[in-house]
Every structure is written in structure tokens, then in C-alpha cells.
Chain A
Amino acid sequence: MERIKSGVPGLDEMLAGGFLAQSANLVEGAPGTGKTTLGMQFIYNGITKFNQPGLILTFEEFPQQYYDDAASYGWDLRALEQANQLRVIMTSPEVSHADLERVDGRIQAMIQEIGAARILVDSLTHFDRLSDDPITRRGLLFSFINSLKRERLTSLLTRESTTLIGGIEGPEEDVAFVVDSYLLLRYVEIESAIRKALLVLKLRGSDHAKDIRQFEITRTGIDVRSKFEGREGIMSGNPRRMADSFVEAFVKRS
């Protein structure tokens, strides 16, 4: 099975080598957890390390914001655009959806122009405003994600989580059903400090790491590190030492 490496330290190992080629991959997390950074890193590494041009499709976030944020990690997105290896497209969900349904759409033209193999869609949350009807919304989302696959793109789709800390929600049915992998980014509180955790919930047709890893956003991007040792309840946002829960479960009971 062909793998598309993210190039993010520690992540490809969790994904048993990388994302599946031409797959749709969802990254969900609260604001500030690093979804967009992870997405930009996926695109930047694709171009600079794996010779795979890419697109950034942003809904309502100005491209200038991406140029500035990327520059803080040392990624020159403007230079990549000038070298025809990247296109940053600001549009709306309804227009990109309609555009990708056309045989001669502008997005398709850009994909062909630069030979794009990867795309960051930031974020799927904006599809929510297209319809109040969940069935209609799901249909729009399905056809949008399928059109990315039809263009043979490996996509990284971000989605905002309303939960800031803890309180793990079940994956939203409509999206979870159609994506090939599902990554969760979470804030956790450990000894009065906020840390960040990453979990691969799903990777269709492949094994993947089941443990919860801590990660940092460094000056060079996201760095996935070791798993949280000796703690449980990480995704609740308020983990306990395993020894404490052992005492609670067995000692206090006796």
C-alpha cells in the first residue's frame, strides 16, 4: 500500500509509515491545538522533502495569515507559490464544492497546472453553515471529499472541536464514515500545566499506534513525542497517575 509521508517527526511512525495515498484524513481539535500547523507542515514537507506539490484551500481565512504563520516556522510559502509548487486558494465551501463538480473548474486547473498531489482543506467546519439539514450537509461533505479523491489528492481536512479540554466526543458520524483516517488533537492538564496530546482514532485498512502521544509545537513545527507514561484518562483532559487509580480501585475498596 503506497504511503504518503507527512514528514512530521513521530507522526508517520504512528501511522505505520504515513497516510494512505489518495486518502482523506481528518484532523480534529480545539482552537490552538495545532490543526492548521499540522496541515501546513504536511503540505510544506510534501513539496520540499517528497517533491509533491500541494494546495491549501482555506475557507474565510486570508492567505496572508498562512504566509505569516508559516514564516514563523521558517516555511516560505510565497516562494513555493512563485515556484509553481503551491497554490493558496481562499474561497467558500459552496464555491469549492460547485467548482470541483465541474469538468473544467478552476481548482482542477490549478491541480493540473502544478501537478498537485496533496491538499489541506481548512476547515470542514465551514460546511456546517451550508445547510441546517444534516442529511443535505452530509451529502455535500461526501461529494466534496469524493471529488478530492477523484482528483487523486491525498487530503488533510481540519475540523474544529467545540471542546477545549477533555470531554472526548464520539467522532461525528457523517465525517467519520467517509474519511480514511481520523486524528484527534487535545489539550490535557497535567500537574497544573497544559500539554497537548495526539491520538490516531482510525486508519482504514492499516494498523496504527493506539497509544496517546504528547506533542509540542516547536519553532520548526509539530514534533510528536513519546506516549504519556504512567497516566490514564489522558483524553478526559485531566489524567491521573495510574498508581492513584490503582489505589482508588483496589486499596480504598478493601
Chain B
Amino acid sequence: MSDPKSDDYQEWNPASKRSAGPDLAARLMDDMDPEVLEFLKTTVNSFIKWDLVIFFSENPNTTDTAVNVARYIGRELGVTESELDELVQAKVLQRDRAGELLVYSLTADLAKRDRVRHFVAVVSDVQFRGKVFYHLIRGMR
């Protein structure tokens, strides 16, 4: 579908629409809650982060190591660990020491928790989720 000359591409992204102004992604994002859009652009910019944010939002009392969190969300440790650290930098998660262990949990900051909760509530809408997926895939290119 990425070949602009293909029939599939023409059907999916007709010339009339392409010439109508901003690209498809921009148009898809037009009606998106600006706060959620910002959260997507700056914080949840990968599918692994998406899984992690949903996981910690659904399990707000969880504190665990990167090894165990990776297992819970069904991802490889290597990639999960770096994504966890980026979410710590974004202050969505916090990283603490429990004895010798480095553990991750949802931030204690209530305002940030509200933002996460709002994001998770919004993305539970199937149509909206489609737009978000498109945004994420586009960001991965």
C-alpha cells in the first residue's frame, strides 16, 4: 500500500483527498483531544509504551522488576527495560530500589495519574484507537 502507483494505494488514499490539504495523519489527528495528542507525541510513542501505560494503569498498585513486567506484558526484557526508563523520564512511572532490586511502579503524582487514566479511557474507544495506531505506525517509519 506504500507504493503510490498501486491500485490499493489509490483506493486508500485517492488523489482528490491527497490534494485537499494536510496529509491523512494530520486530518486523522484533527479531532483528537490536544492533551491526548500531546501525550501520544511525547510519551506513548511506541506500542511497548502503550502496553506498559495500560498495564500500570490497570494495576496501579503493582511494583515490580523490569524482568517481571516484561513477562506480564509478553515482551522481551531488552526493549521493555529501555521503554520503562523512558516512561520514568517522562514521569509516568517511578523507579525505586527495593533492597538490591530496581523496581518500577506508576507515578505517585496524582495529576500525572489522572492524565494516564484519561488517556487509557480515551483509547478504549475502538475508532479512536485506530487513529492512534496509525499515528504510532507513522512514527515508527
User: Residues of A with Cβ closer than 8 Å to B?
Assistant: 60, 62-64, 87-92, 94-95, 98-99, 101-102, 105-106, 110
Q: Is the CB of B61 within 8 A of A98?
A: no
- Rounded to whole Å, the gap between the CB of B32 and the closest CB of chain A is 28
Inter-chain contacts of B59 with A (CB < 8 A)? 62-63, 90
Compute how far the CA of A100 lies from the CA of B88 in the bound complex, rounded to whole angstroms. 23
Task: List chain A residues, Cβ under 8 A from B61.
Answer: 63, 87-90, 106, 110
Task: Report the bound CA distance from A46 to B33 in whole Å.
Answer: 43
Chain A neighbourhood of B103, CB < 8 A: 95, 99
Q: Which of A89, A94, A101, A105 contacts B62 (CB 8 A)?
A: A89
Residue of B58, B63, B68, B72 near A99 (CB, 8 A) is B63
Chain B residues, Cβ within 8 Å of A99 = 63, 98, 103
Q: Is B80 an interface residue (CB 8 A)?
A: no
Which chain B residue shows the least CB distance to A89? B61
In the complex, the number of residue pairs spanning A and B with C-beta atoms less than 8 Å apart equals 50
Also in contact, A98 and B99, with CB within 8 A (given A63-B59, A90-B62): yes
CB atoms of A101 and B99 under 8 A apart: yes
Hey, what's the 0/1 contact readout for B61-72 against A, CB within 8 Å counting as 1? Answer: 111110010001
Interface of chain A, main secondary structure? mixed
22 contacts between A and B (CB under 8 A): A60-B72, A62-B58, A62-B59, A62-B72, A63-B58, A64-B58, A87-B61, A89-B61, A90-B62, A90-B64, A90-B72, A91-B62, A91-B63, A92-B64, A94-B101, A95-B98, A99-B98, A101-B99, A102-B98, A102-B99, A106-B61, A106-B96
The CA-CA distance from A89 to B106 in the complex, in Å, is: 12
Q: Which of A89, A98, A110 contacts B98 (CB 8 A)?
A: A98
Which B residues are within 8 Å of any A CB, using their own CB?
58-59, 61-65, 68, 72, 96, 98-101, 103, 105
- Whether B99 pairs with A92 at a CB distance below 8 angstroms is no
Whether A92 pairs with B65 at a CB distance below 8 angstroms is yes
**Ranked 8 nearest A-B pairs via Cβ:** A98-B99, A98-B98, A89-B61, A99-B98, A92-B68, A90-B62, A90-B59, A106-B63
What's the least CB distance linking A136 to chain B, in Å? 15
Complex CA–CA separation, A248 to B105 (angstroms): 63
B101 proximity list for chain A (CB < 8 A): 94-95, 98
Whole-angstrom CA separation of A95 from B58 in the bound complex:
19
Q: How far is the CA of A87 from the CA of B68 in the complex (A)?
A: 20
Chain B proximity of A126: nearest CB distance (Å): 11
Most buried by A among B58, B59, B63, B100: B63
